Amino acid sequence: MNTNIRDRYLSIGEYNMISVDWSAGAVNPNYVAARNAVGPAGAAVASFIGQLVAAGASVDNMYVIGFSLGAHVAGNAGKGQNGHVNTVIALDPAGPLFSLGQPDAVSPADGRYVEMIMTNGGLLGSSTPMGQATFTPNGGRTQPGCGTDIAGGCAHGRAPAYYAESITSSVPFRATRCAGIQEVVEGNCTPSGADATMGGEPSNYGRGVSGVYFLTTNDAAPFARG
């Protein structure tokens, strides 16, 4: 569990934080096996959500948050609830062996609002927008302060770091809406529609936030520039 995200939420209010230990599937030297475990893991989470709803909880108040392979688990949990959970946050969803439209890949239909934060697209993370809104900090592929980062681990890990900061930061991660992902790749984002804030609490659900967004960050925490 990302304790930074948990602690940030608990520092600002009364939240029920539920962590999912799916290490039996995720921690596997065989990446193909780990990749194929996201569907069953997500289905188990969806079943648990169903039990909570049966006990009186409401999906209107639920976020499902996941990082890397866990982002696809979060998407599958949303699928299992027919896309009715309030928000799915997909933090740099794993890219290898995933593509938009695959039955077990996170998708825009997995929640009432689905936000993707892309930080290492094309290497460890997906380079394809998979959320209703996809935020691409610093272009979504490499991240400042990560040095050469040949394996991509630093940039990949920035997605949960940015999101955790956004929960409590008084400085927002303001982002410009671009015409599409290709403009971001080319480093030529033409403003197209209203700006939006990446992450944050509450989420962007109900605010009409959709499309691809570009923003820059600082190279060390605090990352947000406003």
Q: Write the secondary structure of 66-116 as one string of H (helix), E (strand) and C (coil).
A: EECHHHHHHHHHHHHCCCCCCEEEEECCECCCCCCCCCCCCCHHHCCEEEE
**Cα–Cα distance between 178 and 103 in angstroms, integer?**
27
Q: What is the pLDDT of residues 87-112, one digit of tens each?
A: 999 999 999 999 999 999 999 999 99
Residue 2, pLDDT score: 87
Mean pLDDT, all residues of the chain: 98
Q: How much is the pLDDT for 124?
A: 99
In contact, 25 and 39? CB cutoff 8 Å: no
Q: What is the pLDDT of residue 130?
A: 99
pLDDT above 80: residue 1: no
Tokens of 59: 């999906």
Whether the full predicted model's pTM is greater than 0.85, yes or no, is yes
pLDDT of amino acid 21: 96
Q: Enter the tokens of residue 188.
A: 């030529």
The 10s digit of each residue's pLDDT in 48-64 is: 999 999 999 999 999 99
Known catalytic residues are: 68, 92, 156
Strand partners, 114: 88
Q: How far is CA 14 from CA 9, 51, 102, 205, 210, in A?
A: 8, 21, 36, 20, 29
Q: What residue ranges do the domains of the chain occupy?
A: 3-215
To the nearest 10°, report the CA torsion of 119, 125, 130, 134: 0
Average confidence (pLDDT) over 164-192: 98
What is the average pLDDT across 142-163? 99
Check pLDDT > 80 for residue 76: yes
- CATH number (1.10.3720.10, 3.40.50.300, 3.40.50.10860, 3.40.50.1820) of 3-215 reads 3.40.50.1820
Q: What is the pLDDT averaged over residues 186-198?
A: 97
